[in-house]
């Protein structure tokens, strides 16, 4: 058994690790498409003011003569109930979604990683408290908690972000905890300890590098979930304040005019789908690249 | 090491009680630290300061937080969850009316989830890299990436366009004049009352929301099943059976399927909270009169007693689902039975 | 030979991975006649398991048979349709699987596996059988492999049986349909040496009684002598030498075979090396060590009243099978684990400010961090020893020279190194902190025998050069005979025998020691003759029960 495995993997010593990763990544059309989608979304979001046909429609512009126009050459995604260009608003909405991703994951991933690493390596009460906390958080519907937190405080994007962040770290902590715990029992960790290394060195120099692949896959997939989550919150009316465009609230607005003006729902919806699909494909591609199970 | 399933279940129950206690403390504290005076909100802007302070002491708001918590939990355990500001009725009464609708929706969604996702996962794994695999994976990818509200609205759009009279909101046709029954589950009550017309109407109403609610789970469970099947496919025990000429279909549908059903069940338990969260969206889109709709309104109106109760019931849902998952897994996996006893 | 049961002719197999194709078998030809016992022997990467898989038709997806024939009873199985090929399984030839734990699906009972195998084999042959009939036949086969309570075995889940029992079931599985050829892939390798010995005896008995032919895949020359009439030696996908067993073992022709035989540590005879006993004072003394695990209620005693005086400059060996507590003792000696009772005192002169002892682990795959380069791994102990900059680089170069690795390897990651090279890096890391004592935790157990030889030579050389003391734990008594100056044998947490290595081997006092030595597969008849005798009662008293 092991011999065949060796013949398959271990004997590729002449190939560099990065070549093998690149090989797996580039042979995966889904991963390449995902990368292109994510890149295009990021570029659109950054350049939104310069490439959208009507950047001024982001504000409280009213143009009743042009309202409820179906998609055409001038308005790719049609116009909404007050005559604003949905395409321009959707691109700016994308911007907010990506900012939300950066904000939420930028805070919750490091926190979750550090707590997960610590719980897995130190064990004892550290482990019990952190895993206990994540288990409790798991029992709460994240959407309900986010709604409750953001509404009881004040339904703003900032509060929604805080609410999501408060919940999100637990998923990372759980995952990193599992990896950290298995890595912590390896001989090389004990060897580092015998050599005199302190906990900081062991956590961040010995264990963390072994978690990088897991973290990057999880973070990429999470980007999609955060976008979904943020869109759902704003769809339910707990997001940015009008007139700032947000993909979720644009769908909610358009819903009143269903099914006649379907583009007002489906076009912003398609943008959400486009970017979440991109992150998912990229995440799956990374997973294949790192040759991870599951 | 001899197993003792009884102690194992007790240990799990202990964990769940702990989860409920911590959860209740968190939501209780959260509900009490929000800006705004619940007594003032209950009485409206015209009330005098004397009336407000009278209500405050009546509601126990002048006591310290721990005292308030203990007395709240004491009452909650006896079924008294306080009054809802919104409906002006006891929260417990509101819940009793709304929870069955959600239970029905969630149960049917879970059934659809497993009925679709497990075969799909098995097929995609078996026909790996063939067209079945590609289609199945695309479907599961869309399942996990599409926002549930968008999918729900799209279903409504499609139903309205192609099946003009298909109901897209509510639980049943009120013209049928059915008052409900003992369980609160439309499908069960209508059959108990012998009303096939009501049953069919309820089923028709349930179809779209249940499908919409199951979509995310279908995506996820298909993926998990597929990767578990592929992973287990490489194990030595498959080689053992192959080496002795046991047919591929038996290896897949008997040996691998049972082993590979552990992972999706586990995920189902872990992700059950997300399912409940999604129910909030689905119930809103389909005007489904469940406890999630109730909770959403409660949150919007800052109806604190109702919000607290809704969060606790959500936690309870999660716990019951996980107990069921635990039992199922320990039936499937003999190793788990022994591990838990230890 | 037209009467050959199995005839492999000019077999070429290619593996494709990462867009590259490599040939893993080149022109493999050999035969197995009826009733003949043939061994395929080779080290890691020799292609012996790939050959077995090609015969069985269980090659991985990325493998292709590019040339050659595999004839079973005169028919080329490579040209047979899948169904016809499946029909051969179990009746024409049967496989004895290697790893007894993972060879059964953990969520099905043993009996379910056996029943399905029998049911489909029956239906292929058009035989109708009821569940009860099959159960009776299975029970009969299980009794053949000395499992006296077939009902209990059939109703057990795989995790509820011991490794030895599962291995017996796997053998029984292979016997279900009275095959003419048994193919055994390293049976018992994952088990203790005494259990492995019983398994090999069982296979030999069955093959003789049923008149079956045997194709044994193994890496162990001792196993070859025990079970084979003819040997095929493989290396890197080629057959280097083939011939009758006695001839290959006594007078090998190919350099590779000669080297391989030379690398096997002898148990008795003129080739045995004896290490000098140290007369120096003890450097570490353990007195009355005891260790219990688990919380109150379910306490489990791993080590009981162990006293060891490790003399400076000696190689002390602590031998025992898995679960004997030898690793726990080593960890307590190093201060990595706190004894429940007893004390460990350092009596020699420790290096000022440096740790007295360092450890070399068993598995080179897990003793180096896969995400850190050799330089980073080596740099860590040096950093805490206070070396920086040029001094550190110089010391690293010195360490690499000590373990005979080029300095350029400092930039490599562990996965770019072979098992032996990884173990050398692990030794260099242990030496970095200038210890007086090295704990060797089965340092060569995961290595091929030819690599083991070079690592052992390196360790002996380093001891001379640096004046080190070794404390080795291992289950491999033939290795310890040649490597250790003193030996202690552990059984169930206690030391049952202790003394100078030559004396223990010349005259083992404890029956368990005798059983252990007797179970070691050796390569010459002379060694076999010198082995101590063990009565069946003694075996039964001290060995783990593998039958029921």
Question: What residue in B sits closest to C177 (Cα-Cα)?
Answer: B244
Statement to judge: residues C116 and C10 lie in one domain: yes
Q: Would the CB atoms of A132 and B18 count as touching at under 8 Å?
A: yes
Judge: C87–B335 Cβ closer than 8 Å, yes or no.
Answer: no
pLDDT at res. A149? 78
pLDDT digit string, tens, across residues A260-274: 788 888 888 999 999
Nearest Cα residue in chain A from C380? A195
Mean pLDDT score, A50-71: 80
In percent, the amount of chain A with pLDDT more than 70 equals 94
- Considering the domain architecture, whether residues C206 and C288 belong to the same structural domain is answered as no
Of A167, A170, A143, nearest to A238 by C-alpha is A143
Give the tens place of pLDDT for each residue, B165-201.
888 888 877 777 777 778 888 888 888 888 888 899 8
Residue B257 has pLDDT above 90, yes or no: yes
Question: Cα distance from B304 to chain A (closest Cα, Å)?
Answer: 9
Say if the Cβ atoms of B319 and A139 lie within 8 Å. Answer: yes
Among C210, C231, C263, residue at a domain's last position:
C263
B242 lies in which domain range? 91-341
The whole-number pLDDT of residue C245 equals 92
Specify if B237 maps to a domain: yes
C353 occurs within a structural domain: no
**Who among A1, A237, A276 is closest to B236 (CB)?**
A1
Chain B's closest residue to A255, CA to CA, is B153
Domain assignment present for residue B69? The answer is: no
Smallest Cα distance from C1 to chain B, Å: 27
Count of Cβ atoms closer than 10 Å to residue B31 Cβ: 19
Residues of chain C with Cβ-Cβ distance to A1 below 8 Å are: 49, 98-99, 185
Whether B276 maps to a domain, the answer reads: yes
| E strand or H helix that includes residue B175 | none
Minimal Cβ distance to B19: which of A139, A153, A232: A139
CA distance C85 to chain B (A): 9
Element housing A7 (H / E): none
Domains in chain B: how many in total?
Answer: 1
Last residue of a domain, one of C228, C263, C298: C263
Residues C235 and C87 grouped into a single domain: yes
Chain A CB within 8 Å of residue C336 CB: yes
The confidence score (pLDDT) of residue C350 equals 67
Q: Which residue does chain A place closest to C237, by CA atoms? A: A7
pLDDT at A9: 39
The 3-class SS string of C346-393 reads ECCCCCCCCCCEEEECCCHHHHCCCCCCHHHHHHHHHHHCCCCHHHHH
d(CA C300, CA C309) in angstroms, rounded, equals: 25
Instruction: Looking at the complex, report in whole angstroms how far the Cα of residue C104 sits from the nearest Cα belonging to chain B.
Output: 5
pLDDT exceeds cutoff 60 at B4 = no
Residue B300, token pair as written in the block: 């919007």
* DSSP conformational letter for C488: E
pLDDT at A206: 93
**Is the predicted pLDDT of residue B32 greater than 90, yes or no?**
no
Q: Do residues C513 and C489 lie in contact, with contact meaning Cβ atoms separated by under 8 Å?
A: yes
Element housing B213 (H / E): helix B196-233
Q: Which residues of A touch C45 (CB under 8 A)?
A: 3, 6-7, 11
The arithmetic mean of pLDDT across residues B49-56, rounded, is 80
The DSSP call for residue C253 is -
B124: in domain? yes
Contacting residues for B149 by C-beta, under 8 A, at least 6 apart: A231, A232, A235, A248, A251, A252, B281, B285
Residue C440 counted as domain residue: no
pLDDT band, very low/low/confident/very high, at B73 (cuts 50, 70, 90): confident
Same domain, C253 and C273: no
**Residue A3 with chain B: CB contacts under 8 Å:** none
- Distance, in Å, from the CA atom of B314 to the CA atom of B276, rounded to the nearest integer, reads 7
For C203, the 3-state DSSP assignment is helix
Asked if the structure places residue C287 within a domain, the reply is: yes
SS3 for C390-449, per residue?
A: HHHHHHHHHHHHHCCCCHHHHHCCHHHCCHHHHHHHHHHHHHHCCCCEEEEECCCCCCCH
Q: Flag residues of chain C having pLDDT under 70.
A: 1-3, 295-298, 349-353, 542-548
Residue A259: asked if its preceding bond is cis (omega within 30°), the reply is yes
Q: Are residues C77 and C161 in the same domain?
A: yes
Q: How far apart are CA A246 and CA A86, in angstroms?
A: 11
Same domain, C284 and C198: no
Q: Give CA separation, B312 vs B32, C165, C312, in Å.
A: 15, 51, 67
Q: Is residue C69 part of a domain?
A: yes
Which subunits have 3 or more CB–CB pairs within 8 Å of chain B? A, C
**Cβ(C493)–Cβ(C303) under 8 Å?**
yes
**Looking at the domain assignment, is residue C358 inside a domain?**
no
- The CATH number of residue B173's host domain is 1.10.3720.10
Higher pLDDT, C11 or A14: C11
- How many angstroms separate the CA of residue B276 from the nearest CA in chain A? 6
C324 and C246 in a common domain:
no
Residue B313 lies in a domain: yes
**Does residue B47 form part of some domain?**
no
Cα separation, A256 vs A265, in Å, equals: 9
Q: How many CB pairs under 8 A join B and C?
A: 82
Kindly state whether residues C28 and C126 are assigned to the same domain. Answer: yes
Residue with the bigger pLDDT between C426 and B14: it is C426
Q: What are phi and psi of C376, to 5 degrees?
A: -65, -40
8 Å CB contact of B145 and A276: yes
The share of chain B scoring above pLDDT 90, in percent, equals 25
CA distance, residue A254 to nearest chain B CA (Å): 11
Closest CA in chain B for residue C107 = B333
List chain B residues with CB under 8 Å of A255: 153
- Could you give the 3-state DSSP secondary structure of residue A81? coil
- Check C106 against B245: CB less than 8 A apart: no
Q: φ, ψ for residue C537 (rounded to 5)?
A: -65, -40
What is the spatial distance between Cα C521 and Cα C194, in angstroms, rounded to a whole number?
10
> Which residues in A have their CB inside 8 Å of a CB on C?
1, 3-4, 6-13, 15, 17, 19-20, 23-24, 186-192, 194-197, 201, 205-206, 209-210, 212
Average confidence score pLDDT of chain B: 85
- Token duo for residue C125: 């042959």
Band of the pLDDT at A294, cuts 50, 70, 90? very low
To the nearest whole angstrom, how far is the Cα of C42 from the nearest Cα of chain B? 21
Where residue C21 sits, what CATH number does that domain have?
Answer: 3.40.50.300
Nearest Cα to Cα of residue C161 among C104, C98, C97, C96: C104
- Would B26 be classed as within a structural domain? no
Asked whether residue B8 carries a pLDDT value surpassing 70, the answer given is: no
State the DSSP string of C77-108: GGGS-HHHHHHHBTTTEEEE-S-TTTTS-TTS
- What pLDDT digit, counting tens, does each position of A107-142 carry? 999 999 999 999 999 988 999 889 888 888 887 778
Please check whether residue B38 lies inside any domain of the structure.
no
| pLDDT tens per residue, range A164-210 | 888 888 889 999 999 999 999 899 999 998 888 889 999 999 999 99
CA distance C527 to chain A (A): 30
Cβ of C104 and B250 within 8 Å?
A: no
More confident: C414 or B63: C414
B334 and C58: CB-CB below 8 Å? no
Query: Is the per-residue pLDDT at B2 higher than 70?
Result: no
User: Which pLDDT belongs to residue C504?
Assistant: 92
Q: Which residues from A are below 8 Å from C411, CB to CB?
A: none
Specify whether C40 is located in the same domain as C88. yes
| C153 and C273 housed in the same domain | no
Q: Which domain holds residue C325?
A: 265-348+475-543
Q: Is C470 a domain residue?
A: no
What distance in Å separates the CA atoms of residue C265 and residue C479, rounded to the nearest whole number? 6
Where does a domain end: C263, C292, C311? C263
C185 lies in a domain? yes
Kindly state the average pLDDT of the residues A35-48: 92
DSSP run (H or E) holding A61: none
Tell me what pLDDT residue C216 has.
93
Q: Do C256 and C317 fall into the same domain?
A: no
Identify the three-state secondary structure at position C306.
strand
Candidates A144, A149, A151; nearest CB to B314? A144
- Residue C54 is assigned to a structural domain of this protein: yes
Å between C52 CA and nearest CA of chain B? 11
Of C60, C334, C368, the CB nearest to A188: C368
- SS3 of C292, please? strand
Give the closest residue to B302 by CA, choosing from B26, B41, B24. B41
User: Which residue on chain A is closest to C51 by alpha carbon?
Assistant: A4
pTM of the full predicted structure? 0.85
Structural domains in chain C (count)? 2
pLDDT at C144: 87
Which residue from B157, B277, B281 is facing A259, i.e. has the nearest CB?
B157
Q: How far apart are CA C60 and CA B233, in angstroms?
A: 11
Angle in degrees, CA C137, C142, C148, rounded to 5: 120
Question: Does C22 sit within 8 Å of A11, measured CB to CB?
Answer: yes
Interface test with C, best of A2, A3, A15 (most C CBs within 10 A): A3
Continuous H helices in C156-294: 163-175, 193-210, 221-227, 245-250, 255-263
Indicate whether C176 and C291 sit together in one domain: no
Question: Which residues of B are less than 8 Å from C90 in CB distance?
Answer: 244-245
């Amino acid at each position: 058994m092991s011999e065949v495995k060796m013949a398959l993997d271990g004997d590729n010593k002449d190939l560099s690790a990065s070549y093998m990763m690149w090989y797996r990544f580039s042979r995966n059309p889904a991963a390449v498409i995902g990368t292109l989608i994510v890149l295009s979304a990021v570029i659109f979001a950054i350049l939104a003011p310069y490439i959208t046909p009507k950047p001024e429609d982001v504000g409280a512009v009213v143009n009743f003569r042009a309202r409820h126009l179906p998609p055409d050459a001038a308005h790719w995604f049609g116009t909404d109930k007050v005559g604003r260009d949905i395409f321009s608003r959707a691109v700016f909405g994308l911007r907010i979604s990506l900012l939300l991703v950066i904000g939420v994951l930028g805070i919750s991933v490091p926190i979750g990683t550090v707590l997960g690493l610590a719980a897995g390596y130190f064990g004892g009460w550290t482990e019990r408290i952190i895993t206990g906390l994540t288990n409790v958080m798991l029992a709460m519907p994240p959407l309900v908690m986010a709604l409750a937190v953001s509404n009881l405080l004040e339904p703003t994007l900032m509060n929604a972000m805080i609410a999501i962040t408060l919940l999100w770290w637990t998923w990372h902590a759980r995952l990193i905890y599992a990896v950290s715990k298995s890595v912590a029992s390896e001989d090389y960790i004990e060897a580092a300890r015998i050599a005199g290394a302190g906990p900081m060195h062991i956590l961040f120099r010995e264990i963390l590098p072994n978690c990088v692949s897991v973290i990057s896959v999880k973070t990429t997939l999470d980007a999609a979930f955060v976008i979904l989550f943020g869109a759902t919150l704003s769809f339910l009316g707990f997001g940015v304040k009008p007139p700032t465009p947000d993909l979720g609230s644009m769908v909610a607005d358009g819903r009143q005019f269903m099914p006649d003006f379907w583009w007002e729902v489906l076009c912003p919806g398609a943008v959400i789908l486009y970017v979440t699909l991109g992150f998912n494909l990229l995440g799956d591609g990374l997973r294949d690249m790192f040759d991870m199970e599951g | 090491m001899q197993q003792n399933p009884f102690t194992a279940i007790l240990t799990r129950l202990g964990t769940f009680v702990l989860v409920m206690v911590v959860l209740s403390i968190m939501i209780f504290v959260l509900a009490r630290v929000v800006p705004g005076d619940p007594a003032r909100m209950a009485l409206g802007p015209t009330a005098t300061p004397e009336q407000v302070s009278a209500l405050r002491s009546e509601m126990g708001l002048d006591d310290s937080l721990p005292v308030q918590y203990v007395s709240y939990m004491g009452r909650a355990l006896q079924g008294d969850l306080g009054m809802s500001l919104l409906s002006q009725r006891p929260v417990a009464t509101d819940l009793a009316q709304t929870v069955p609708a959600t239970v029905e929706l969630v149960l049917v969604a879970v059934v659809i989830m497993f009925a679709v996702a497990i075969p799909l996962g098995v097929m995609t794994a078996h026909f790996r890299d063939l067209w079945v695999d590609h289609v199945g994976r695309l479907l599961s990818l869309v399942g996990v990436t599409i926002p549930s509200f968008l999918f729900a609205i799209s279903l409504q759009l499609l139903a309205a366009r192609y099946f003009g009279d298909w109901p897209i909101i509510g639980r049943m046709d009120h013209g049928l004049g059915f008052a409900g029954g003992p369980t609160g589950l439309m499908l069960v009550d209508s059959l108990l009352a012998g009303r096939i017309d009501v049953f069919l109407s309820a089923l028709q109403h349930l179809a779209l929301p249940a499908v919409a609610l199951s979509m995310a789970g279908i995506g996820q469970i298909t993926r998990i099943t597929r990767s578990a099947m592929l992973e287990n496919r490489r194990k030595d025990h498959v080689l053992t059976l192959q080496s002795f000429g046991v047919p591929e279909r038996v290896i897949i549908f008997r040996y691998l399927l049972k082993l590979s059903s552990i992972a999706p069940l586990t995920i189902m338990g872990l992700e059950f909270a997300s399912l409940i969260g999604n129910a909030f969206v689905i119930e809103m889109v389909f005007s489904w009169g469940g406890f999630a709709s109730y909770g959403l309104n409660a949150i919007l109106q800052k109806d604190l007693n109702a919000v607290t109760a809704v969060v606790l019931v959500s936690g309870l849902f999660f716990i019951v689902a996980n107990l069921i998952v635990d039992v199922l897994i320990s039936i499937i996996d003999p190793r788990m039975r022994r591990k838990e006893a230890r | 030979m037209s009467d050959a049961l199995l005839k492999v002719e000019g077999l070429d197999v290619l593996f494709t991975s990462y867009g590259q194709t490599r040939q893993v078998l080149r022109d493999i030809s050999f035969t197995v006649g009826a009733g003949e016992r043939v061994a395929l022997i080779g080290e890691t990467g020799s292609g012996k398991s790939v050959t077995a898989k090609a015969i069985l038709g269980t090659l991985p997806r990325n493998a292709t048979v590019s040339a050659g024939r595999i004839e079973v009873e005169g028919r080329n199985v490579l040209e047979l349709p899948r169904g016809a090929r499946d029909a051969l399984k179990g009746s024409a030839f049967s496989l004895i699987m290697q790893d007894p734990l993972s060879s059964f699906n953990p969520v099905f009972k043993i009996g379910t596996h056996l029943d399905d195998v029998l049911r489909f084999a029956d239906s292929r042959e058009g035989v109708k059988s009821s569940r009860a009939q099959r159960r009776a036949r299975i029970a009969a086969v299980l009794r053949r492999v000395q499992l006296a309570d077939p009902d209990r075995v059939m109703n057990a889940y795989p995790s509820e049986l011991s490794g030895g029992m599962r291995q017996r079931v796997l053998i029984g599985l292979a016997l279900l349909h009275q095959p003419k050829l048994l193919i055994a892939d390293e049976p018992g390798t994952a088990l203790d040496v005494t259990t492995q010995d019983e398994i090999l005896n069982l296979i030999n008995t069955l093959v003789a009684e049923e008149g079956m032919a045997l194709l044994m895949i193994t890496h162990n020359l001792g196993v070859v002598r025990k079970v084979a009439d003819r040997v095929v030696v493989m290396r890197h996908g080629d057959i280097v030498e083939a011939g009758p067993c006695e001839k290959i073992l006594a007078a090998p022709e190919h350099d590779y075979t000669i080297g391989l035989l030379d690398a096997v540590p002898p148990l008795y005879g003129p080739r045995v090396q004896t290490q000098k006993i140290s007369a120096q004072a003890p450097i570490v003394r353990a007195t009355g060590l005891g260790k219990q695990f688990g919380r109150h209620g379910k306490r489990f005693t791993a080590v009981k009243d162990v006293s060891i005086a490790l003399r400076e400059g000696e190689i002390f060996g602590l031998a025992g099978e898995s679960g004997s507590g030898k690793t726990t003792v080593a960890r307590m000696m190093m201060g990595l684990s706190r004894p429940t009772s007893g004390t460990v005192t350092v009596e020699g002169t420790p290096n000022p400010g440096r740790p007295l002892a360092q450890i070399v682990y068993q598995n080179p795959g897990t003793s180096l961090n896969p995400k850190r380069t050799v330089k980073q791994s080596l740099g860590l102990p040096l950093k805490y020893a206070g070396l920086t900059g040029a001094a550190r680089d110089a010391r690293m170069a010195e360490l690499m020279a000590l373990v005979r690795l080029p300095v350029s390897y400092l930039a490599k990651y562990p996965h770019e190194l072979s098992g032996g090279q990884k173990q050398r890096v692990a030794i260099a890391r242990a030496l970095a902190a200038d210890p007086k004592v090295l704990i060797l935790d089965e340092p060569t157990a995961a290595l091929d025998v030819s690599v083991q030889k070079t690592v052992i030579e390196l360790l002996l050389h380093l001891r001379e050069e640096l004046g080190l003391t070794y404390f080795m734990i291992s289950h491999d008594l033939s290795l310890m005979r040649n490597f250790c100056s003193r030996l202690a044998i552990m059984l169930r947490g206690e030391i049952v025998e202790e003394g100078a290595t030559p004396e223990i081997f010349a005259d083992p006092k404890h029956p368990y020691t005798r059983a252990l030595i007797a179970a070691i597969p050796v390569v010459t008849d002379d060694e076999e003759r010198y082995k101590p005798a063990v009565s069946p009662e003694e075996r039964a008293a001290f060995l783990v029960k593998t039958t029921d």
